[in-house]
Structure formats: structure tokens, C-alpha cells
Structure 1
Amino acid sequence: MSNFIPLINVRSVYNFQESLIKINDYISFAKKEGLEYLFYCENKTMYGVAEFFKKASKENIKPIIGLSIELDDKKIITLIPKNKKGYGHICLISSQLNDEVKLSDDKIYDLLKECIDKNIILVTNVDDKNDFFNDAEILNTNEKNIFFNTVRYISDDDKEHYRGLFALKNGITINEANDLYKINESYPFSDEILEVFPETENVGKYICDSVELDIFDSNEKHMAKFIAPDNMPSFSYLKQKCLAGLNHYFRNIKNSDIPNEYIERLNTELNVIEKTGFADYFLIVHDYVAYARRNDIIVGPGRGSAAGSLVSFLLRITTVDPIEYNLLFERFLNPERITMPDIDIDFQDNRRDEVIEYLFEKYGRYNVATIVTYQTIAFKSAFRDACRVYQIDMELVNLITKSLTEDYLAFEEILKTQKLIKEYSEKEEFIPIFKLVEKLIGCPRQTGTHAAGIIISDVDLRTVLPIRQGLNGIYQTQFDMNYLEEIGLIKMDLLGLRNLTTIKEILDLIKTNHKKDFSLSKIDLNDAKTFKILREGNTTGIFQLESQGMTNLIIDMKVNNINDIAAASSLYRPGPQEMIPEYINNKNNRRVSLVDKSLAKILLPTYGVIVYQEQVMQILQLVGNFSLGKADIVRRAMGKKQIDYMISVKDEFISNAIKNNYSEEKASAIWNWIEQFAKYGFNKSHAIAYSYIGYWLAWFKAHYPAEFYTALLNGVMGNPSKTSKYIKEVKHFGIEVIKPSVKPPYNKFEKTRIKSVYTSSENRIYMPLTLIKGIGRDFITTLNNVVDEHEDLFNDLNSFFFYMKNKGLNESNYTLLAKAGSFDCFGYTKSTMVANKDFIFSAMMAFNENLPLEKQTKIENLFEEQLNEEMESNYEKEVFGFYISANPITKLKNENAYFKPTDINKLVENMFDVNIIGQVSSIRIIKDKNQNNMAFVTVFDDTETIDLTVFASNFENLQYDLVVNKNYVLKIKTQKYKNKITGILENIVKPI
């Protein structure tokens, strides 16, 4: 007999910072001790129930789940469902307990009275409520001699670690926790329990025998039903919509008869959808996409394999014609491997919530939910928390952790790879800290929200799983996405994409400035000007093409159509990158060798290289006579290296190929060739659809650069590096960039202090006050309101500061505004406004609010500082993180032209003894393998930034001459690292 028996109130780490018991550890403990069943009862929540149930069942341990409720008087009620109906009851109760209103004990009793019945076993130490719980089977621990204490850690050895967790939870030190936390909440031995609570084992077995529950046993799919007009059957309505879409596409857009290929493809897809019963799914997605389009919310052209569906295209769920691009429906919905369709939709990210709100209103508050995620504790956070509890100096903590370039979730891994941390882990005073860290790593700290997933159910979600109050009044599942489909819930992904918001803003700016209102579908996909800027490498701000490596690939490929962009984004990934040289060579030299000429139609579009998963499927179909459905199954198996299946299916492929007049040798060669590509091939449907987004942005950049850059700048507020880069580029287009000002350019642009605005009449972009680090939106909103109230606000300094008194203008944001040049509209330099701060605030304090403006003492006779261009430029660098008006390095380059400096943005690989002029922005010193100091130095000029390596042999001589925020003429040689131009610092030619 085991030394342990299953106990009821076992808390897990899902009651955040109230337990050290991880589910995997709990089940490992049960296996070791030979326990046949386990209880799992969180306090009020059910976050870990699905994970526990699945993992316990897998190990042939019977999971007994429940819901514990700790009342304000510290008494505990635990509800254990006997069956699926009882499970539905506790899901409802947990959902109510996690709604927006905290329930009092009396309200909890009312809830229990309403919800529980004979399908629940109620275990309690409450003596006076036995008659309160209707038909529930009640086991009162005070009467039955049942062990009912809460267990928060497995072993007595963990008590010290739990005290650390207790300290962390309560914001106290370990010493204070030792004084406050006296009880023992470990998992006790059976003989200890039974001596005091003799009925515990019998009751445990009784409960186990009474419970017949599998939360994953239902084949029901809780997909919401789409209500078609006149209650038409869903499939009939779907077919009607598709036929109407097909007629419209060819009669109104293509201006031609409908080709048989489209009719046959539509019939094939509709037959599969009818057989699988997915008509409602398509109609629901169609409906919320149509809602977005009706409300002028930009929707992406498609995402993932759904772009391979003609039905999706005809419903305008996607906007890419799958037949035109040879995309396959079976890659999306395979009739030979029935899985739920997965239609992911991109919306402009600042209006995605409106679409979710629409679903919430249409299907009901308890039928729509977002999906919970759990933010787990990684090493850095665990270590800092543990050190805080044990009162370790934070400077030492920073020293220990500063060498970490990434965070870790595997404790053993960090000790293997981080020498300094391993050294400290062996120091006596740090041993308890690291033991606590090991316990904390991997524990969930708090909930989050899945970035895209939404559940839409045909039943009240509270009957299927527990939910909780989420953001904006929309509920959230308590189970994460890994367990939803198994209980019949279908995840739909509604994603927010920043680039679509940028596109919408560009369209709005074009409409304002040029009175043009056009649709994305009308953009010419073969525009020469657009492909010219791409071939020139002018890819800044272009979706998926902006990185240096992608830019180089786009140049080398000489892109001239959408297919080229799709191929570039598909090849530029680990694995397929090996094929880039062959692809470029074949494309540019028009020499393609094929493994067999019969594959020409499939492979010539990608110059003999398999780029896409769809090509693997087509080859399997052509050579091996596989259906596309089976070909997709084989492709997946190749990618996952399912060896046994591959051996059997290879024989079938070769046998069929021989019947198709291929030799056995040739068939085997084709199989081996495609097998190596299957794990690298990319989803063509996704690649083509996303290439549209990149192309649209490139088209706007080519034809409406001012609107393009204005929208880009608004999208990167708070990112000085990108903002600086975009400002430099926009100036090359002859567009003037105006720094932020408290005074708007025109009254009609009073809101321009929040966002950038381009005025076509002046060819200027006015930057917003939000560009200034430290200026908050509350102040800007107040300033906007003052502008609306007082037309004479900007007549002079006197008017401005009189009206702004007690309106959020304090000495701190005054200084920021002055240094940014936002008071330049009053005719004074930055330096003068900074120097006169005390004088101006003294005058403001003297204003009498009971007198009109004309009777106030005027702010005048400011002490005017002499113009100092370098200081004023440095002010800009301080408050923006970069220069707007003039970069002093430009002046330095002119003054030091003798050294023939090269602009950083013009550096290429393998340049030797080249001079650059720039400012050092950071120096990071590390130890090399010989434990000598070396450094990584970041330098910027007026064009770009570069990372330089200073090897130990050189750093010893240069370390005292290199200073952050100083300007230098530097001699370097260049190299390429991870597709980025970097350099090696050879010498400091001259500090300047």
C-alpha cells in the first residue's frame, strides 16, 4: 500500500503565487507513489483543470476534479462533480465567481443553492448550512473525520521555498515570512492522516467510485449557427452566395463568361463543405468580414491556407483568386483528413475590437469569449523576485543578470551555459535563492489574452467550460487554447495587423489631400514604378521586405511581379535560404535543370526549386497518382518525419509512378528529391496573400510618398530609431519635416499634436507633440481644449502662459517643450526659452485669474541667449532620441572632408581601412574566451547606425579614448553578420 492517499484540497500553481505544485510534478509524484486517483481543486478558478485531466488520464490515473471556495471566514466548501451535468454546474459557479462583481459569502451561498444538486458531492467544514444545499450529497468533514486541510507543496522540504513564495505574494522578506507562516501544508503521509482522520481513505475511495466523468468525451461541436435570411438552410444559403459571387466576378470584374474550371472547382469545394458540415463556419466568417468592410475597416487579402479556397474568395473572405495563382483547396480543407477549417483574418489593429464587439452583440455575451493565456515566470524575473525576498542588493543582482541576452525557462540550461550564474548558485548564501528560483521558473504569474483567438458557441459557454470576466466586458475562457477543440469549441483567429492600419491611414490622407477615393482592389499589380523602387532596394516601411537581408534578396532577384515577392518571403527563412543562390542563378540566367521534364509545369514558375508545399502535393499527384487530399497527408508526414508511414507510402508512390511510365530509378529519385524539400516548403496561399500587403505599401511609397511616410511615422511613435530613419528618408523626397509645436499649423488641424499631418499645399509633414519623450497625451488633450476655447492663445507669450496656467503645464514638461523647439512659434530660440523658465513661471504664478488678460503684467524682456547650434541640436537628441532640424554630424563631415568619410548607410561588405565620422551611442564590454576585455560599440552618423567590434588586442589601447556621446573619425573594416553590415574598429583617427 502506498505511503500516501489522494487528498481533496490540493492547490496548484494556477492559484497564482499560492502554491508550488506544478501539474507535471503532481502527476509524477502520484506515479511514483502508485496512486490510482488524484484530486484537483483550485480556489474559485478552474484554470488548470483541463491540463490536469488530460495529463492524469494519459498516465492511467483517474482524475477527480472539483472547485474549492474559500469563504471570507476561512471556511472551505469543495464541489466535486459526479458526472458531466455536475461538471456543467461547477463551470457555471466558477464563471459567476470570476465575474466582475466579487460575491459576499451570503451571495455565494445563494449561488450554490441555485446551482448544485445530486450530481455534485459537496465536501465542507461549514456546520450550519447542511439544509441549504438542496439535493447535493454533503460530506461534512467535522462529522466524518476527513482530512480537509489545504496542500500547497508536495514535500516537507518545500516548506522553506513556500515561505519564499508567501513572502513574494505578500511583499515581505523571508524573515518576516518565517515569523508569519507557521503551518505545514505539505502532502502528508497516509499514516499521519489516518491516525487523526480515520475516514479519509474510505471517503476518498467512495468519491472516486461515485465519479464517472470525462470532460473530453463528447463529440459535439459547439459552433454557433448562422441564421440565414428566411431561415434558409445554411448550406443552401452558402451555395447561393457563392454562385452570386462567381457571376459578379466574371460579369462585372473580368467581363467574360465563367470558365468551366471555376465551376468545377466551386462544385468540388462545396461538396466537401456540405459533407463536413462546415457551412455555418464559412458563413459566420463571411458575416464578420462583411461587417468590417461595411464599416470601412480594412481587412487583409487573406492569411494562411484559406487563401487557397475559391469559396473564401467568392464570399470575399479573401481577395486573392486561388485559381489564378494555382493555389490548392486541399491544403486548406482536406476531404481525406477532416479537421476544422482554420480561416484566420487580419484587420487593421486599431479597429479589431469593433469586430469582436459586433460578434459579442450578435451571438450573445455568454456565447462569445476571448482565450486565456498564461504568462509564465522565466529565470530573470524569478531570480530578481527571489533576491528581493532574501534582501540581496539589487546592484549585485543587475551585475549577475546583465550578461543574459535571452531569458530562460529551463533551469538546468542556464546553469550549463551561464558561467557567472553557475558560480553564484554554488555560493552558500545564494543556495536557498536558487532553490526558490528553480521552483518559480515555469509557474504561471498571471493571465493574458490570446492575441487573436475568439470562441463563438451555439450554447452558453458556462455549460461547457469555466469563463471569467475579460477586457471590455467580453468574457474569456479559463482553459487555454490547447484544450478547446477537444471539448467542442472552435477557435477563430481575428488578428490585428499594424500594416493594415497604416494602409487605412494612407488612404485617408490621400482622400484629404488629393480628393481621391479608391479601393485597394483597383491598384495596378504590374506597376513599373513600384517594382523599380523595390529592385533599387528602397524597401523601408514595406511589409516583410524591410530587413537588410530581405532587401538584398529583393535586389538580387530583380523582382517584377507578385509571384517574385511571394517567393522571396518564402525562401528567406532558415532551411530554404540554402536554395536562394540556385533560385537567383536560375531566374537571372534562365537556365533551369529539372529532375524530370514532366515536372516542368510545376517547377518552372519557381525556376526548378521547390519553394511551396503545394508544389510537393502537385508532384505527388502527377507522378504517384495520389489525390491532392492524400498528397497533403504525405506532405505533412514528410515534414514531421513519420518514418513508418513514409516507408509504406513510398512503395505505393513508386509502384504508381511505374504505372505512369516512370522508371523505378527515376521514381525513387523524384521521391528522395521532394522529401528533402517537404520540411522546408512554405504555404503558397499565405505567401501570395501577404505579398499583396507588401506590394500595396510599395505602390503607395512610389506614388504617394508623403502620405506613406506620414502614416509610417504615426505607426512608430516611441521608436526613435525608426522615426529617425523615416525622417531622413522622407527628406530625400523633398518633403520638409517640421518639429513639434504647441501651435498647430492651421486651426482645422488642432488634433495634429497627437499624430503627424502632411499638408500637400506646403509639402510639409508636421510632427506631433507625442514625439517628445515625457509629454503625455493628457497634457496634449488639455492643450487642444485650450486651443478650442481661446482664439488668441498664440498671439504672444503672455497669452499662451496666461491661458495655460493650471492647465497641466509644469516645469518638467515646459523644459521638454522648450528643448524640443515647441515654443519657437513665439520667436525665441530653444536656449532662450530654457534659460527663462524660472522667470516665466514666476510671472505665471503672479497672474490674477480674476482679471482679464489685458490687465495682467506682461511676460516680456526675456534674457536672450546667444544661438548655439550644437547645444540646440543636442537638445533635440535629448528629447526626441534623434535630430530633426540639423544633425551636427553633417557639419562635422563637411569640416573634416579631408578624411574622406563614407556614410554609414553606404557601407558594404569587405571594405578595408575606410573612415567614418559618427557618435558613439553605446559601449558594451565583455570577456573574450581568454578572459580579456573586448567591446561592442554602436556608432551613428546622419545616415544610419553600425555595430563595431573592438577585439581585446585593440581595446586595451583604445578603451580610455572611447567615450559614449562623443564624436570621432574612426577607421574600420566591414563585414556581414546575420545579413547585416557590421564592422571591426581598427583605430581612432581623431576625436572631434
Structure 2
Amino acid sequence: YLKSAEEMRELFAGLPQACDNTTAIAERCNVKIDLKTQHAPQFEPPDNSTPEDYLTKLCYEGAKERYGEITEQIKDRLDRELDVIQSKGFAGYFLIVWDFCKYAHQNNIPIGARGSGVGTIVGYCLGLCDVDPIHYDLLFERFMDPARNEMPDIDIDICQAHRGELIDYVRQKYGHVAQIITCGTMKARAVIRDICRVLGVPQGQADRLAKLVPFSLDMTLDKALETEPELKETYDQSEQTRKVIDIGRKLEGLARHASVHAAGVVIADEPLTNFVPLYKAAGSEDIVTQFDGPTVEKVGLLKMDFLGLKTLSVLERSCQLVKEIHGEDIDLEKLDHTDAKVFELFSAGMTKGVFQFESGGMQNLLMKMKPDRVEDLIAANALYRPGPMILIPDYIDRKHGAKWSLPHPIMTEVLEETYGIMTYQKQVMRICNRLGDIPLREAYTLIKAISKKKSKIIAKERGRFIEGCVSKGLTNQQAEEIFELIERFAGYGFNKSHSTRYAFVAYQTAYMKAHWPVEFMAALLTYEMDNTDKIVDYIAECLQMGIEVLAPDINESGVDFTPLYEQPAEGESHKKVIRFGLAAVKGVGGKAVEQIIAARKEVGAFKSLFHFC
């Protein structure tokens, strides 16, 4: 606890000047934090041009490479985005992201933007992501509001195995990089357990009391008392319970412990101590901010999300194995997205290990949907969530021929891709824009207002929407009904940019599983070797795929799971085999495995236990 001045004086009775000096220093402190100035690092173009000119040059070079011919549609979209980005002074930000993505590409590190950043043609031309926003009709306005000066947020997925390498590159290039703190707070159940421990309540009683609190992300002690009669009864009858919960109400929501944000990184080209307090976590050399992510952004620093994605590491490893064993190079960003074998795998629900599509519920959805195009995977990704799940049967029925109609051709055109069902936020934005004459950026503001139930904004835009609909030939009643649909589904609508990028990654994993099953499953098992349940699950999947997983062998196993192609008997096909990795054996450390393999290289195969020892 924080000691009072009197307690501190008593503690330092022999050194009164220590307390006097502490007070004197405190009185001199007068910190004013600047919340207006942006401190993003400056990008220096190698040709000495301005960041704006260099960004434009790179984008047009990228557009030529991506599209071949730069049509009027591509030029208009590119110029519009560049105009917004440059008018707000964000050219340098895009160049910084381009720079480390270029480093990743040059060093064969799998990387790609996710979230709304996928919806910008500038990012596509710079190589930040390989999803064409024009082809998939992704909106720039969903990524960056032209009317606001907020720093755009490009989240980046990186191969998990190389995340540290990329952060080191950024640190060397810009000089000052730190990871970002995140604070775990005292939730309702946890605060009860903590207080019981301090008050000496027996563990059994503490556990029983904590379990009376219903499990929900937004649960509080007050809500628990209202919704759980047994907890309320215990609170009324037991003085000890009342004491625990009353103390808990005061502590609930306070920070309990600090940890490092899974993806957040802050970048500057001058010392970070000029702007934020820093610390090193116990037992680590990583430098971490003492401000959380939102506060880091408020003080004007550049925050980026570098999320280590295990799936990208699995894909990288499986491609390496194909190259080592078969001598074939696979470019996952240039796959044929109409591959029948891949869609057969999806339609059969054989998606164990396939990114975002391996749960039992998703497998059932796929077997009913029978996807035959990437757009179906994007929709499945967006619909398989609480709320929009109620629309899945309609999507499946309509995909397989059920009739559907909408009150206006504009709605039919906008929703044709998803068979008349509002699935993505961008569809709602398009309808508001084209049918209701609401500008796209304001349409996104309306969607956010609906999700947060801001009635004033909703009421204001309702009138404008209905007016626009009536001017296009709809009746007042039809316009009201359409707006009610928007109100009902706008809160569910998913970010299509995010869903599209992750559908691409899912397609890549399904491609490797369909065409290179042994290499893919070996890579998947290698990256799950710390998770026994997953190992058991994926070995069962291997057996179902006709792949035998052999037990670990000190003479044949490597560190990782290894694909083997045994010589077949005459008239038989190649036998598909994976050898269990030594590092996946519980209790066998990495150093021990390295020594075993080094000894094996030196003396050859081990002939006996004594020879091995």
C-alpha cells in the first residue's frame, strides 16, 4: 500500500533530509504532455525526393506490375487515395510500412496486411497485401476516413518464427522501438479469488464463491448479484461473503498485472524516453512502454501491430519441405483460385489444420454450402459468428437455387455476391450511399452509431436515407423497411477486407493440404508440438488422409516432424509417412535433441543403448 507522509517520516527518522529532498523534487515536477504533435519517424527517400513524390512513384510502378495496364478506374482510385493520404501528411507512414514489408519479401519472410488496411489500392500496389481491392470491391473509406486526421492503422501479420527478426530490422533502421504494455484487470471472478486469498478464506470456499459468478466477458459483481439468486442469498446471509464482495467492488476493474501486448510495437526516430516512460519486464531484455496502446497513440507516437501468425510459419515450412524433397518452388501468392481439388477439400469438410475453417461447426457449414469460389469462403468467414449465424441457412439455400428478390435494382446489384443477404459492412455502406445519398465516409459513421446505439445520429441519417430512397422511386414504407433492415444487420456486418485476407490464407493452407498433404501435415505437427491435444488430433487426421505417423526413432527422427517417402513394393504407390520429431517428445529438451543428432552424424546409427549413452 502507499504509506502516508507520517509513516515515511517515521521510517526515515534517522535521515529526515531524504524525505525533505523527495518533497522538494516532487514540488519541482510539472509535466505537461503534448497531445497534439505527431512524432512519427521520418522516411528519407533514397532518391532525395519528397515522401509524397516517392510514394506516388512506387504506387504507379506497383500498379503497372500488378495490373499490366493502368485503366481509368485504377488511376482514379489510386489518385483519390493518394490525395487523401498525402493531404494528411501520412505518406511517410505508408513508406515505413512498405520499407519493412519489402525487407520481409527480400528475405522470404511471409507477411501481409490484415483488417481494413487490405482495402486500399495504395497498399496493394506497394505490396503490403496480395488482395486486389478493386476485384473484391473493398472500400478505402472503411480503412481511412477522409474527414478525420487520425493516423491510419495498418495491422501486419508476420510469420511467427521471424517476428523478432523484423522488429530488429525496424529497430536498426529507425533507432527507437519498444513493445507496448497491456494490463490485465481484476475481473469479477478473479477479484473474489484474490481477496479470499488475502483474507485467509479456505480455497474450497473461495472457489465455490467465485463459481457463483456467471461466466461472461462483461460480467461485474453488481450484475452477478442481480442475476444469480444463490450469490445474492450468500451475500445477504454471510458476513464473510459480504466483506469479500464489498472489497471486490472497490478493486474490480483495477490493473492486476502487466504483460506485453501480443502485437503492438511503437516506432520513433528519437529517444522514446522523450515521450513515454519505459521499463524492462523481469527476466527479459525487451523494452516496453508504460503507456498502453491508446495512450501511446494519444502522445503522437506511431503504433503498429506486428502479429506473429503461426499459420504463416506452417505455410513457410511446408513450402520449404516441398522444395527440399521435390525441388519445386511454390508461390502461394500466385495460386489459381479456381482449383477444383481445393474446393473439393472444403466441400468435404476436410479442413482440420485449415486456417479459420477447422472447427466442427465450420466443417458442417462447408459441407452444406459446398463452396466453389473464393467469395463463398469470404462469406463463410464473415457469417460464422454470433448474430449473423442466423443468416447461414438462407445463404446456403439461395446458393443452391432458392429464389430471392429485393425492392430496388441498386440493392440487388450490391447484394448479388451474397445472394441478397447483408453480410459485410461495405455492402451496408454501399446501400446507404447509392440508395440513400449518404456519402461513404458518413455511411461508416452511421454503421458505428448503429452498433453503439447512438440514437441521435441514427435518427438524423434515417431522414436523409428515406429522402434519397424516395427520390429513386421507392415508397416511404419501402424506404423505412430497408432502413430497419440496415439497423438490424449493420451491427452484425463484418469487415470484408479482413474476411477476404483471411479467406486467402485459408485457401493457401487448403491448397497445401490438398496438393502436398505429407509436407503440410509435417509442418503443422511441428508447429503444434507443444500442444499434446492438437498433436493427437492431427495424427488422427493424418491416418484419415492415408498418412502413417511413425514413432520417434533416435536413428531416423530429426528435431521436427519429417516427411518420408518409402520406396514402394512393385505395383504399389509411394507410401506416405511422417516420422515423429524428437523435440515433440515430452521431457526431451531442445539441447538434448541437438546433441543426439550431432552424435549421430559423428558416429552413425546407434547400435545399442550403451552405444547411444
**TM-score greater than 0.5 by the shorter chain:** yes
Quick one: structure 1 residues 696 and 402, their matched pair in 2 at CA, closer, same or farther if it must change by over 3 Å?
Answer: same
Bigger mean CA deviation after superposition, 766-775 or 310-319: 766-775
**What is aligned with 1:371?**
180
The letter for the 2-side match of 1:773 is K
Bigger mean CA deviation after superposition, 232-241 or 729-738: 729-738
Give the C-alpha shift of residue 406 in structure 1. Answer: 4.5
Give the C-alpha shift of residue 346 in structure 1. Answer: 0.2
**What is aligned with 1:410?**
220
Give the C-alpha shift of residue 737 in structure 1. Answer: 1.0
Match of 1:241 among 54, 58, 63: 58
Match of 1:277 among 86, 89, 92: 89
**What is aligned with 1:334?**
145
Give the C-alpha shift of residue 665 in structure 1. Answer: 3.4
The structure with the largest helix share of the pair is: 2
Q: How does 1:528-547 map to 2 (within 5 A)?
A: 528-547=340-359
CA distance in 1 between counterparts of 2:77 and 2:318 reads 36
Give the C-alpha shift of residue 767 in structure 1. Answer: 0.8
CA distance in 2 between counterparts of 1:318 and 1:596 reads 35
CA distance in 1 between counterparts of 2:12 and 2:78 reads 59
8 Å Cα contact 1:336/1:630 also seen in 2: no
**What is aligned with 1:644?**
456
8 Å Cα contact 1:360/1:474 also seen in 2: no
CA distance in 1 between counterparts of 2:597 and 2:444 reads 58
Quick one: structure 1 residues 496 and 393, their matched pair in 2 at CA, closer, same or farther if it must change by over 3 Å?
Answer: same
CA distance in 2 between counterparts of 1:589 and 1:346 reads 38
Quick one: structure 1 residues 213 and 387, their matched pair in 2 at CA, closer, same or farther if it must change by over 3 Å?
Answer: closer
8 Å Cα contact 2:377/2:503 also seen in 1: yes
Q: How does 1:477-556 map to 2 (within 5 A)?
A: 477-556=289-368
**What is aligned with 1:202?**
none
Give the C-alpha shift of residue 322 in structure 1. Answer: 0.5
The letter for the 2-side match of 1:362 is K
8 Å Cα contact 2:437/2:464 also seen in 1: no
Give the C-alpha shift of residue 504 in structure 1. Answer: 0.7
Unaligned runs of 5+ in 2: 568-575
Quick one: structure 1 residues 212 and 357, their matched pair in 2 at CA, closer, same or farther if it must change by over 3 Å?
Answer: closer
The letter for the 2-side match of 1:732 is Q
Q: Secondary structure at the match of 1:334?
A: coil
**What is aligned with 1:588?**
400
**What TM-score comes out, normalization by structure 2 length?**
0.89
8 Å Cα contact 1:425/1:434 also seen in 2: no
Give the C-alpha shift of residue 740 in structure 1. Answer: 1.6
Give the C-alpha shift of residue 795 in structure 1. Answer: 1.4
CA distance in 2 between counterparts of 1:294 and 1:744 reads 37
Matched, 1:465 2:276: yes
The letter for the 2-side match of 1:759 is L
The letter for the 2-side match of 1:456 is I
Count how many residue pairs are aligned between Structure 1 and Structure 2. Answer: 598
Matched, 1:125 2:20: yes
Quick one: structure 1 residues 790 and 323, their matched pair in 2 at CA, closer, same or farther if it must change by over 3 Å?
Answer: same
**What is aligned with 1:767?**
580
Quick one: structure 1 residues 647 and 439, their matched pair in 2 at CA, closer, same or farther if it must change by over 3 Å?
Answer: closer
Query: How far does the alpha carbon of each residue in 1:522-541 deviate from its partner, in whole angstroms, 9 at most, with x for none?
Result: 22111001101111111111
**What is aligned with 1:658?**
470
Give the C-alpha shift of residue 635 in structure 1. Answer: 2.6
Give the C-alpha shift of residue 600 in structure 1. Answer: 1.9
**What is aligned with 1:14?**
none
Structure 1 or 2, whichever has the larger Rg, is: 1
CA distance in 2 between counterparts of 1:781 and 1:397 reads 46
Give the C-alpha shift of residue 404 in structure 1. Answer: 7.3
8 Å Cα contact 1:331/1:632 also seen in 2: yes
Give the C-alpha shift of residue 214 in structure 1. Answer: 4.8
Quick one: structure 1 residues 744 and 620, their matched pair in 2 at CA, closer, same or farther if it must change by over 3 Å?
Answer: same
Q: How does 1:657-696 map to 2 (within 5 A)?
A: 657-696=469-508
CA distance in 2 between counterparts of 1:73 and 1:425 reads 50
Q: How does 1:82-97 map to 2 (within 5 A)?
A: none
Q: Secondary structure at the match of 2:435?
A: helix
CA distance in 2 between counterparts of 1:211 and 1:388 reads 38
CA distance in 2 between counterparts of 1:504 and 1:321 reads 22
The letter for the 1-side match of 2:72 is N
The letter for the 1-side match of 2:166 is V
Quick one: structure 1 residues 289 and 20, their matched pair in 2 at CA, closer, same or farther if it must change by over 3 Å?
Answer: farther
The letter for the 1-side match of 2:578 is I
Give the C-alpha shift of residue 273 in structure 1. Answer: 0.9
Give the C-alpha shift of residue 654 in structure 1. Answer: 2.5
Give the C-alpha shift of residue 710 in structure 1. Answer: 1.0
Match of 1:791 among 587, 592, 604: 604
Give the C-alpha shift of residue 332 in structure 1. Answer: 0.9
Q: Secondary structure at the match of 2:256?
A: strand
Q: Secondary structure at the match of 2:279?
A: strand
**What is aligned with 2:511?**
699
Quick one: structure 1 residues 786 and 382, their matched pair in 2 at CA, closer, same or farther if it must change by over 3 Å?
Answer: farther
8 Å Cα contact 1:400/1:421 also seen in 2: no
8 Å Cα contact 1:20/1:439 also seen in 2: no
**Identity percentage over the alignment?**
35
Query: How far does the alpha carbon of each residue in 1:149-198 deviate from its partner, in whole angstroms, 9 at most, with x for none?
Result: xxxxxxxxxxxxxxxxxxxxxxxxxxxxxxxxxxxxxxxxxxxxxxxxxx
Match of 2:562 among 727, 752, 757: 757
Query: How far does the alpha carbon of each residue in 1:926-967 deviate from its partner, in whole angstroms, 9 at most, with x for none?
Result: xxxxxxxxxxxxxxxxxxxxxxxxxxxxxxxxxxxxxxxxxx
Match of 1:351 among 154, 158, 162: 162
Bigger mean CA deviation after superposition, 424-433 or 462-471: 424-433
CA distance in 2 between counterparts of 1:784 and 1:435 reads 60
8 Å Cα contact 1:756/1:766 also seen in 2: yes
Give the C-alpha shift of residue 76 in structure 1. Answer: 8.7
**What is aligned with 1:635?**
447
**What is aligned with 1:447?**
258
Query: How far does the alpha carbon of each residue in 1:628-666 deviate from its partner, in whole angstroms, 9 at most, with x for none?
Result: 222222232233222112222222223333334444333
User: Which protein, 1 or 2, shows the higher relative CO under an 8 Å CA cutoff with sep ≥ 6?
Assistant: 2
Give the C-alpha shift of residue 485 in structure 1. Answer: 2.2
Quick one: structure 1 residues 437 and 634, their matched pair in 2 at CA, closer, same or farther if it must change by over 3 Å?
Answer: closer
CA distance in 1 between counterparts of 2:454 and 2:214 reads 35
8 Å Cα contact 2:555/2:600 also seen in 1: no
CA distance in 1 between counterparts of 2:247 and 2:216 reads 17
Match of 2:39 among 200, 222, 225: 222
Quick one: structure 1 residues 670 and 440, their matched pair in 2 at CA, closer, same or farther if it must change by over 3 Å?
Answer: closer
CA distance in 2 between counterparts of 1:581 and 1:76 reads 76
CA distance in 1 between counterparts of 2:592 and 2:182 reads 35
Query: How far does the alpha carbon of each residue in 1:488-523 deviate from its partner, in whole angstroms, 9 at most, with x for none?
Result: 123211111111111111111111111111211222
Quick one: structure 1 residues 72 and 665, their matched pair in 2 at CA, closer, same or farther if it must change by over 3 Å?
Answer: farther
Q: Secondary structure at the match of 1:760?
A: strand
Q: Secondary structure at the match of 1:712?
A: helix
**What is aligned with 1:232?**
49
8 Å Cα contact 1:457/1:489 also seen in 2: yes
Give the C-alpha shift of residue 288 in structure 1. Answer: 0.9
CA distance in 1 between counterparts of 2:56 and 2:38 reads 22
8 Å Cα contact 1:303/1:345 also seen in 2: yes
8 Å Cα contact 2:347/2:370 also seen in 1: yes
Unaligned runs of 5+ in 1: 1-17, 22-38, 44-69, 78-123, 128-137, 141-147, 149-206, 252-256, 805-992
Question: What value does the CA root-mean-square deviation take over the aligned residues?
Answer: 3.2
Give the C-alpha shift of residue 347 in structure 1. Answer: 0.5
CA distance in 1 between counterparts of 2:17 and 2:165 reads 41
Give the C-alpha shift of residue 403 in structure 1. Answer: 7.4
Query: How far does the alpha carbon of each residue in 1:5-29 deviate from its partner, in whole angstroms, 9 at most, with x for none?
Result: xxxxxxxxxxxxx3599xxxxxxxx
Q: Secondary structure at the match of 2:184?
A: strand
Q: How does 1:798-817 map to 2 (within 5 A)?
A: 798-800=610-612, 804=613
Give the C-alpha shift of residue 211 in structure 1. Answer: 8.6
Quick one: structure 1 residues 774 and 418, their matched pair in 2 at CA, closer, same or farther if it must change by over 3 Å?
Answer: farther
CA distance in 1 between counterparts of 2:182 and 2:145 reads 29
Quick one: structure 1 residues 422 and 479, their matched pair in 2 at CA, closer, same or farther if it must change by over 3 Å?
Answer: farther
